[in-house]
Amino acid sequence: MTFPVLSVASECFPLIKTGGLADVVGALPLALEAEAVAVRTLLPGYPAVLGRLEGAEPVHGFEDLFGGPARLLSARHAGLDLLVLDAPHLFDRAGGPYADPRGRDWPDNPQRFAALSWAAAAIGRGALQGWVPRVVHAHDWQAGLAAAYLHYGGGPRPGTVFTVHNLAFQGWAPAYLLNELRLPSTAFNIEGVEFFGGIGALKAGLRLSDRITTVSPTYAREIATPEEGMGLDGLIRTRAGAMHGILNGIDEAAWNPAADPHLPTPFDAAHPEGRESSRTALRARMGLQDEPDAPVLGVVSRLTGQKGMDLLLACLPALLGHGMRLAVLGAGEPALEAGFRKAAAAHPGRIAVRIGYDEGLAHLIQAGCDALLVPSRFEPCGLTQLCALRYGALPVVARVGGLADTVIDANEAALAVGAATGLQFAPTTAAALEGALARLSTLWADRPAWKRVQTNAMRAPVGWERSAARYADLYRGLS
């Protein structure tokens, strides 16, 4: 017998993606199949999602879902069993999942994602004929109110799991929306959804779910501190018994250098020599000088302060001083985008920047750069460093969150026993990053040692097998 679970999220790869949340929501259900867990994933019916579905069938209707009629559509796509909330008054609009074409948050985001959570609770209570989940697994603030609707609805309900992918995004709404969001007055207190005088969707998930997970063990510890808890550390400490830090993985089929259509030549840990053609192709595509002996450093990231991109800008003189080259792919804060563009214009052939996101180029950077820079100030888990390990790009990471949990620093002890897979640095400052670049340069000069670390990296476990088993155990412990 398979164990039925409803996963609820605002995005899911390959249908709609703004970050790592989508990758996790898209990959975990497939990994759970080996654990006899059958996941159906509930998503908003954005135009980008509805436009890619084939053979979708309506399975439930809502006469009035936060301002208009809506229906649930059942479909399959890319191996995923989907439920899509088709609510045109909430989701049929231009722009991204959360913001308009000018980048401004939709003013009705509280209602839009309350509707997603309301639909999840309805499914959890048996709205679909012939299928009732035993667990509702909600992801981030956009699904945080699902636990509240199930908690305050009374009667039998499924178990609830809430995963924090990034505590910084909390889904706060003003208190006057309490009734409009269909929350009872009894919910508006410190033991319920109240958060700094308003309604906290993420707080609701943390407070009212049966179990909480974060996407790495270190991040689970960090968010229980005043420094990293974003005002929720007290609650998180109170719920320590319900908290589980479970590392994310990557989809090893989508990120497989031995069968990657974006690369000129397949390669793997047993045949790493094929990687050289990707190094050549990356330099050519990005317009970097054709100097095979100069290490190319890569960045595939949002260009934000959280990701430490301002620190990287400050360290560019040191990077160039070591004879390194830099290939950047990302988008984010206008000032940082402008800073990288200016650096590329000032150092043609040595720094190359592409603003935006390009899936094929992301794969080529992972396969063609020698080291990947991830200098994040905080990082719940991070997936880009896992892709780097798989593709043989040594991750250079800040010692925070999931970065600390997934990369083994090439210190003297780790090098001596052959365990190193990359470089860590702390604290997250420009000076510490410069120190990491100096260490990287020294390691690059010792090519036999570099190759040993690279081989270790490519053999490191980066998939979902172990973590999927932990999620399956967590689900079954609630039934």
As a whole number, the mean pLDDT across the chain is: 97
Strands 70-77 and 3-8: unpaired
pLDDT digits (tens, 9 = 90+) for 376-397: 999 999 999 999 999 999 999 9
Q: Is the pLDDT of residue 175 over 80?
A: yes
- Measure Cα distances from 214 to 164, 395, 400 in Å: 5, 22, 14
pLDDT confidence of residue 213: 98
Strands 70-77 and 57-62: antiparallel
Give the confidence band of 1 by pLDDT, cuts at 50, 70, 90: confident
> Looking at the DSSP assignment, which residues form a beta bridge with residue 85?
44, 72
pLDDT confidence of residue 226: 97
Q: What is the CA radius of gyration of the chain?
A: 23
The hierarchical CATH code for the domain 257-459 is: 3.40.50.2000
Nearest one of 7, 13, 5, 8 to 253, comparing CA atoms: 13
Buried/exposed 380-403: b ≥16 CB within 10 Å, e otherwise: bbbbbbbbbbbbbbbbbbbbbbbb
Q: Is the pLDDT of residue 270 over 90?
A: no
Annotated binding-site positions for ADP-alpha-D-glucose? 17
* Over residues 186-208, mean pLDDT: 97
Please, is 367 exposed, middle or buried when counting C-beta atoms within 10 Å of its C-beta (0-12, 13-18, 19+)?
buried
pLDDT digits (tens, 9 = 90+) for 39-66: 999 999 999 999 999 999 999 999 999 9
Query: 85-89 long-range contacts, Cβ below 8 Å, gap at least 24?
Result: 85/42, 85/43, 85/44, 85/45, 85/115, 85/116, 85/119, 86/45, 86/50, 86/58, 87/44, 87/45, 87/62, 87/115, 88/45
Domain extents for the chain? 3-249+464-476, 257-459
Beta carbons of 2 and 37 less than 8 angstroms apart: yes
Q: Is the pLDDT of residue 479 over 80?
A: no
* Over residues 294-298, mean pLDDT: 98
Report residue 371: phi and psi, to 5°: -145, 145
Annotated binding-site positions? 17
pLDDT confidence of residue 13: 93
pLDDT digits (tens, 9 = 90+) for 229-257: 999 999 999 999 999 999 999 999 999 99
pLDDT digits (tens, 9 = 90+) for 97-109: 999 999 899 999 9
Give the confidence band of 154 by pLDDT, cuts at 50, 70, 90: confident
Give the confidence band of 192 by pLDDT, cuts at 50, 70, 90: very high
- Is 3-249+464-476 in CATH node 3.40.50.2000? yes
Calpha distance 71→65 (Å, rounded)? 9
Calpha distance 426→420 (Å, rounded)? 17
Q: Is the pLDDT of residue 119 over 90?
A: yes
